[in-house]
Structure 1
Amino acid sequence: MLVSAQAATMLALQDKMNAKVNPDWIAVRSPFLRAVVIEGSEAIEHHGWKWWKKQDCDLEQLQMELVDIWHFVLSAILIKHQGDQAKAQQEVFAELDQTSLTFDGNEFEFSQLSLLDKLELMIGLAAAKRYSVSLFSALLTDCQMSWDDLYAQYVSKNVLNFFRQDHGYKEGTYIKEWSGREDNEHLVEIMTKLDVKSDSYQDDLYSELNKRYQLLNVT
């Protein structure tokens, strides 16, 4: 189950990352829910939906799409509350345990929906400029992810994004391959050695990335 410290950390990280891209991101109100539509469609592709041919579900890629979607949902929540992270956090927990929602005059019980049905519902909501934290939570369960799993992957991806920016990603000087392996491979390896529940998890992750980056001399 998601805890308040995790929610607070993720909201703060999302605000910080968005502000790094555009300091006026709250006022600009970029179409983050449009991105949910696109990422949701990609998630459906990773699951497989074509009834006329054999397809295998790529669960790992599907989970990664959910992490991306959560970035955009958090951004939409923060915009709704004018960047007030405390109010945004209250909304997250107020809706977290709901088991159904009403959309277009119809009641949808999550327990009666397949994973693909849930993804389609999320896309429909996003296209209508809406979101549902409880629906997202139900999707996590279907994709065999806990909130701890999501938190670890979310924070790790944000830390890697910050690390890249701090080391010349925007300027084109960042070297993504370290000793023949991409940085995200090193990230996954480092994650397994750290305590995701530690208050210093994100700082520890950044520190370990930096040590490895310097040690390998990105060659």
Structure 2
Amino acid sequence: MDRRKKMEEMFRLQERLNDDTNGPKWRDGMTKQGKVVNWKRCIVMETAELIESFPWKHWKNIEGGIDLENVKIEMVDIWHFVMSYLLRFLPVKEAAKLALETMKESGIRVPESWSEADKGRLDELLAPFEDLMALALVKDDSPAYRVELLEQFWTCVDAVGMDFDELYRLYIGKNALNQFRQKHGYKEGTYRKIWNGREDNVVMQEILAQNPDITYDALMEKLEEAYDALGNG
């Protein structure tokens, strides 16, 4: 599958996820339960969670390192909300085309392992993500703004060392897991997030690692098998 088709697939899956979880009026800013939807606030909060994977607190865990794998997962969560925001204004194919046209590289690269030297450049390393947060707080929805938001998102993706295929693979995994959670009672509080002592996110990543070319439907089947093994069948 070429890059254009993969991008369109991600937007289609996100559209379906939003339809299933939020109802048909999510583009108007309201869920089927009557709750306000604010995708840009979601971007801000998920980016804040990403920053928590860095040892930024001067008063706590001073010798801590970086959790790069979690940073990548948070980037995928942010991507869910960036796509949802774009889909408010654009159909799938136009949104995918714009996303492909706005890809940018970063002049900063987050280290895979934390060193003593990295402590002094923390502000530099966090700058792309804080810039994304700042942009998401801007009260603007113009076409030019959407381009700027996308460009900053891609800058962050590059900064963490992710290529397009890795983002696609992790997105497919996380989208499948989100759909799986909804199907098995996540909103109702009956879903079991810990599977034999491991978070479902970890199980999903292990399946992806063992089956790098797995399809969306095949991944859902493997998640079902693992969940049923817990006695949830």
Q: What is the DSSP-based 3-state SS (H/G/I as helix, E as strand, rest coil) of the residue aligned with 1:11?
A: helix
Distance 1:16 1:116, change over 3 A: same
Q: Which residue of 2 aligns with 1:134?
A: 151
Q: Which residue of 2 aligns with 1:181?
A: 198
Query: How big is the alpha-carbon RMSD for the aligned residues of Structure 1 and Structure 2?
Result: 2.5
Contiguous gaps of at least 5 residues in structure 1: 100-109
Alpha-carbon distance between aligned partners in 1 of 2:191 and 2:52, rounded to the nearest angstrom: 31
Alignment of 1:1-219 (within 5 A): 3-23=3-23, 24-28=25-29, 30-50=37-57, 53-81=62-90, 84-97=91-104, 110-111=106-107, 114-129=124-139, 130=145, 131-196=148-213, 201-218=215-232
What amino acid is the match of 1:58? Answer: D
Task: Measure how far apart 1:211 and its partner are.
Answer: 2.0
Q: Which residue of 2 aligns with 1:106?
A: none
Q: Conserved in 2, the CA contact under 8 Å of 1:17 and 1:158?
A: yes
TM-score with structure 1 setting the length: 0.80
What amino acid is the match of 2:219? Answer: L
**Which deviates the most, 141-150 or 164-173?**
164-173
Number of corresponding residues: 202
Q: What is the DSSP-based 3-state SS (H/G/I as helix, E as strand, rest coil) of the residue aligned with 2:66?
A: coil
What amino acid is the match of 1:111? Answer: G
Identity of aligned residues (%): 35
TM-score with structure 2 setting the length: 0.76
Task: Measure how far apart 1:70 and its partner are.
Answer: 0.8
Q: What is the DSSP-based 3-state SS (H/G/I as helix, E as strand, rest coil) of the residue aligned with 2:185?
A: coil
Task: Measure how far apart 1:69 and its partner are.
Answer: 0.9
Task: Measure how far apart 1:92 and its partner are.
Answer: 0.8
Q: Conserved in 2, the CA contact under 8 Å of 1:178 and 1:218?
A: no
Alpha-carbon distance between aligned partners in 1 of 2:41 and 2:193, rounded to the nearest angstrom: 28
